[in-house]
Structure 1
């Protein structure tokens, strides 16, 4: 049986469509692929975005900029030295874009001007670090990407 060029084009289209459908089916049913949203309450978080901008601006105006550094023990977050560390409260959020199960929150309770996030709570890769903190009624915000 001889196949003409019209039949060849139709067979090529059918083969290509089968190939695409196979990968769509495979990716939608594969347990290794994570199809989660970025955050659980995405729209609720977006509504508070202006508050984060205002708190970040307040940090710049009051010279309350944080410094985040990698160390052998983990990640060190240095708070401004002009502030009393015992009056600083808040939360440090570690967000892992590639795996929602690794996201963690740490409360801020300081005796010195720095906070150590231990090495055993971090896996190598990219982390988004968000620090929401308060000092004497002022709210501050710091966000930084870190590759650990």
Structure 2
């Protein structure tokens, strides 16, 4: 039997390192999931982000804010009862956190109860970010909610 020397130690260390790296690639493939950007126009939206910050600030100052609820029919967003929607436009974006193909973008009209419904048929179970934005009297407002649809 040959004596163990530093050359053998180097070869064993190198082989152990290679086995470690390969095991990381094959045992933990989570890094290969959909790694998509949240939006296609990232840089253009970044330049407009101060408007988003201002809209969120205005929405945070509201006494009563729109709220969302879930049931078997879908996700219902309800505005406060005293909200006058005669000169308002309401938009929502429902971003799926793991697959942008499941995103939903819509402009909606509020019904007589000052609410609207995102039907369950267009939703798939998972995590969403609901971005609710509306313009009232030429002022923008925006609220973001984390939603888990089951």
* Distance across 1 between alignment mates of 2:22 and 2:41: 32
Q: For residues 1-148 of structure 1, what are the structure 2 equivalents within 5 Å?
A: 2=2, 4=4, 6=6, 7-20=8-21, 24=25, 33-63=33-63, 65-112=65-112, 113-148=114-149
Shift, 1:16, TM fit: 2.2
1:130/1:4 CA distance change after superposition, 3 Å: same
Uncovered stretches (5+) of structure 1, i.e. residues with no partner: none
Deviation readout 1:70-122 (Å, 9 max, x if unpaired): 12211011112212334331310001111111111021212220110001111
* Distance across 2 between alignment mates of 1:111 and 1:129: 19
Deviation readout 1:9-57 (Å, 9 max, x if unpaired): 42332342254257559999x9x73232232222222222221121122
Which deviates more from structure 2 when the two are superposed, residues 16-25 or residues 81-90? 16-25
Which deviates more from structure 2 when the two are superposed, residues 69-78 or residues 80-89? 80-89
TM-score normalised according to structure 2 size: 0.79
1:67/1:5 CA distance change after superposition, 3 Å: farther
Uncovered stretches (5+) of structure 2, i.e. residues with no partner: none
SS at match of 1:46: helix
* Distance across 2 between alignment mates of 1:96 and 1:25: 27
1:125/1:3 CA distance change after superposition, 3 Å: farther
Q: What is the alpha-carbon root mean square deviation over aligned residues?
A: 2.8
The number of residue pairs the alignment matches comes to 146
Shift, 1:4, TM fit: 2.0
* Distance across 1 between alignment mates of 2:140 and 2:63: 13
